[in-house]
Structure 1
Amino acid sequence: MSNFKVLPILDPEAAGAVAPCCPPLTERPLTAEEAEQTARMFKALGDPVRLRLFSLVASHEGGEACVCDISDVGVSQPTVSHHLKKLKEAGLLTSERRGTWVYYRVEPSVLAAMGRLLTSAALN
């Protein structure tokens, strides 16, 4: 088992509220911890296959997708599983096993946090 520590994008103290980990990049400099967390998210999305998988899940009807519906991205099934695992480790996806299939979901609060991070503070 890896000692990899996953920092959630959302503030766990916020008890489910949409509380981004970080302020808009134009508001103030990020702390070292915020920068680590944000870099992990962007690193996960920096791979074209991962970005496609994330987009497939995010845009799928109902906001969740069975792995059986998103596996056709031009790589093998084990590679798809590896990329989905990386997206989960970065806090971008959640998953739930139902029978033999795994369903992935992008929480709306994650998308809101990502949007807020890239929004100019002057626009808020």
Structure 2
Amino acid sequence: MTAQTDAECCTATPAQPTLQAEAAADLAVRFKALGDPNRLTLLSLIAASEGGEACVCDLTEPVGLGQPTVSHHLKILVDAGFLARERRGSWTYYATVPGALRGLCEDLCADTALNGMLDGARSEGGSAEVGSAQRGSSCC
């Protein structure tokens, strides 16, 4: 048996394409926008509203937040591409962007090793053992 150095043993060589820095940064912005319970609630309220749109004035009471706070959360969702904003007189209406959530999933898994996480979740019940790829090797 030949002894391997840590440098030889623990140098990762991806078998599949990995997520590039720019794509990772874009995805992080979108996931961060969804990472707040108030924003998820607002997104859900707008999606459930008649015509898939709502005015800020219709959203403050259901979430129990003031208008400036709701507007701030909505701006983050607009900037992340989940909502579209339209000014009508003195009111601003927000509508869901069709396919935005599906696009997030597709962008996350497109042409990267992360796609295997979806495949594995469907076929193996979503669980994996840490270190199973290393089994039988003297490394790590």
| Structure 1 moving runs of 4+ over 3 Å | 115-119
SS at match of 2:99: helix
Q: Name the residue aligned to 2:84.
A: 94
- AA in 2 matched with 1:51: L
Which is greater in Rg?
2
Give the structure-1-normalised TM-score.
0.67
User: Which structure: greater helix fraction?
Assistant: 2
Matches within 5 A, 1:1-124: 28-72=17-61, 73-116=63-106, 117=108, 120=118
Structure number with greater CO (CA < 8 Å, separation at least 6) is: 1
Separation in 2, partners of 1:93, 1:30: 25
Identity percentage of aligned residues: 54
User: What count of residue pairs does the alignment treat as equivalent?
Assistant: 97
Give the structure-2-normalised TM-score.
0.60
- AA in 1 matched with 2:91: W
- After superposition, the CA RMSD in angstroms is 2.3
Shift of 1:90: 1.5
